[in-house]
Amino acid sequence: MNDLHTTDVAIVGAGPAGLALAAALAQAGLRCTVLEQNSAESLVAPPEDGRDIALTHRARAILERLGHWDRLPADEIAPLKRALVRNGASPLVLPFDGQADGHEALGFLVPNHRLREAAYAAAAATPGVEIVGDARVTALQRDEQAATVRLADGRAWRAPLVVAADSRFSTTRRLGGIGAHMLDFGRTCIVVRMRHEEDHENTAHECFRYGNTLAILPMAGRQSSAVVTLKSDQAPEWMALSDEAFALRVEEHFDRRLGRMDVAAPRHAYPLVAAYATRFVGPRFALVGDAAVGMHPVTAHGYNFGLYGVEVLARELARAARDRRDLGDAAVLAGYEREHRMRTLPIYLGTNAIVRLFTDDTPPAKLVRGAVLKAASVAAPLRTLIARQLTGGVRRSAPA
């Protein structure tokens, strides 16, 4: 097979970021082709993957504009009203809520497979979007006029611009000659949906214990997503536990705040590696989603950043198309690079610093952990700043 196709933008990867970009560009009148290594059937109804994604108000607004939000099952969206942070056995609890920005909720929790399902359905229903399954990109070439991506099976797509949305371990990023700062935390997070006796009151708990971290994130109904982060060499033992033994451990580590807990779905393990691309754009080339910024999940920014990036890149490309400019022009892409880097870099670095501090169990680090939480608990402006990051910085004006 050696057929050559053409499109306005070729997007590599039909994850939630690639599909969101496709819908956004098609809304702006551009033709785009999404090339995905997995089969098209696997995208239609992705299986539960254990991830429960915390979305900000800003991310929700973007999903609404893209037509994803209305496709999410309403009874699987859980508002996140409060977040409580605990440190070791300390009685000090650091609370966050969305009130500072006039919101009743900090954000919303949605199962990742539902987001992926909605992203596929919306993109597939948008005229101008072509989604090609069984399409593994293995080569990228660029010349003055266009960029060409080639698949393992010989098919090729030529476009003024190629966008890599193929995960934090992006092959296309490497093919495009862009490096990334990769940070392997040596930790793995195990995620699983659990049922429990008591009402979670839409409150998330982040418990920085000694030895491991436990997050309990409220899902719809009397269910929560349990996220256990631990040294990677300990993960196999936790994964091998029976459901009953696993549930008992989580219940005990959580001091039975939700009463009896039961495992309600298969467990999934994710090794934690953060990635930050050295550049987000190159000649006729751009990165979105985790391929640009792959976050540690503790501050729940990953897909939110993916959506913010999609919004900015789509805006720049729509403007270029209106002005009949070349979509791969360096000046067109520069605006995206500047804005997305400014928005994400401080939080990427801050998140990694928090992770390092709160997973360091040496006595000096324990002291600093306590001092940091104590300072944050008395410094209301600092808490407001953090809460604003969690809501996405969208202020809701007071009703007239």
Identity at 157, one-letter amino acid code: W
What is the chain's percent helix, strand, coil content, to nearest 5?
A: 40, 30, 30
Exactly one of 7, 148, 167, 352 binds ligand FAD (CB under 6 A); that residue is 167
Using CB under 6 A as the binding rule, whether residue 123 contacts ligand FAD is answered as no
Whether the Cβ atoms of residue 22 and residue 11 lie closer than 8 Å to each other: yes
Binding mask 88-117 for ligand FAD (x = CB under 6 A): ------------------------x-----
Q: Among 217, 192, 177, which Cα is nearest to 298's?
A: 217
Nearer to ligand FAD, 10 or 258 (CB): 10
Exactly one of 87, 202, 304, 344 binds ligand FAD (CB under 6 A); that residue is 304
Q: What is the Cα–Cα distance from 400 to 385, expressed in whole angstroms?
A: 25
Q: What is the Cα–Cα distance from 162 to 157, expressed in whole angstroms?
A: 9
**Coil, helix or strand at residue 198:** coil
Using CB under 6 A as the binding rule, whether residue 290 contacts ligand FAD is answered as yes
Using CB under 6 A as the binding rule, whether residue 58 contacts ligand FAD is answered as no
Show the DSSP H helices in 223-301 as ranges.
235-240, 243-253
Distance of closest approach, residue 364 Cβ to ligand FAD, in angstroms: 29
Q: What is the Cα–Cα distance from 79 to 239, expressed in whole angstroms?
A: 29
Q: Could you tell me how many residues of this chain bind ligand FAD (CB under 6 A)?
A: 34
Q: What is the Cα–Cα distance from 165 to 11, expressed in whole angstroms?
A: 7
Distance of closest approach, residue 119 Cβ to ligand FAD, in angstroms: 8
Q: Given the rule CB under 6 A, which of 24-32, 66-74, 302-310, 342-350 is the region that contacts ligand FAD?
A: 302-310
Using CB under 6 A as the binding rule, whether residue 65 contacts ligand FAD is answered as no
Residue nearest ligand FAD, Cβ-based: 15
Q: Which of residues 181-210 bind ligand FAD (CB under 6 A)?
A: 189, 191
Using CB under 6 A as the binding rule, whether residue 11 contacts ligand FAD is answered as no
Q: Among 125, 146, 165, 143, which Cα is nearest to 35's?
A: 165
Q: Which residues bind ligand FAD (CB under 6 A)?
A: 12-18, 35-38, 51, 53-54, 112, 135-137, 165-167, 171, 189, 191, 270, 289-290, 297, 300-304, 306
